[in-house]
Amino acid sequence: MNIKAVIEQRQCSGVWSHKDELLIETELGMKCWYHSVFACPILRQQTSDSNPPIKLICGHVISRDALNKLINGGKLKCPYCPMEQNPADGKCIIF
């Protein structure tokens, strides 16, 4: 708050891009750390070690279970774009 007051007194208000943004990096501590969770947009299920997220060659990410359900005749058509690909080309990713 002291930094904000000094900047406002010096009439540097154009530096701020958001109302409550600080110009310096602030350490938040361990209580603010979290592990991100990915939910498959196709099956709407959270991924796990047994059902990891898979990045397709087109860049879209789905779960392994969704990938297996979308395989048709040995090929996979991305549910978001028209790209057809080999299911084995998908890469397991870790967030």
Q: What is the pLDDT of residue 53?
A: 95
Residues of the chain by 3-state class (helix, strand, coil), percent to 5: 25, 20, 55
> How sure is the predictor about 18, in pLDDT bands with cuts at 50, 70 and 90?
low
- Average pLDDT estimate for 68-86: 93
Gyration radius of the chain over CA positions:
22
Residue 77 phi/psi, 5-degree rounding, is -105, 125
Q: State residue 31's pLDDT score.
A: 78
- H/E element holding 17? none
pLDDT of 17 strictly over 60: no
Please tell me the pTM assigned to this model. 0.61
Q: How confident is the model at residue 43 (pLDDT cuts 50, 70, 90)?
A: very high
- pLDDT over 70, % of the chain: 77
CA 31 – CA 22 distance, rounded (Å): 20
Identify the structural domains of the chain with CATH numbers, from first to last: 2-28 (no CATH), 29-95 (3.30.40.10)
Q: Which residues of 31-56 are buried (b: 16+ CB within 10 A; e: fewer)?
A: eeeeeeebebebeeeebeeebebbeb
Q: How far is the C-alpha of 63 from the C-alpha of 47, rounded, in Å? A: 6
Going by DSSP bridges, is the β-strand pair 91-92/71-72 parallel, antiparallel, or unpaired? unpaired
- Mean predicted confidence (pLDDT) in 74-88: 93
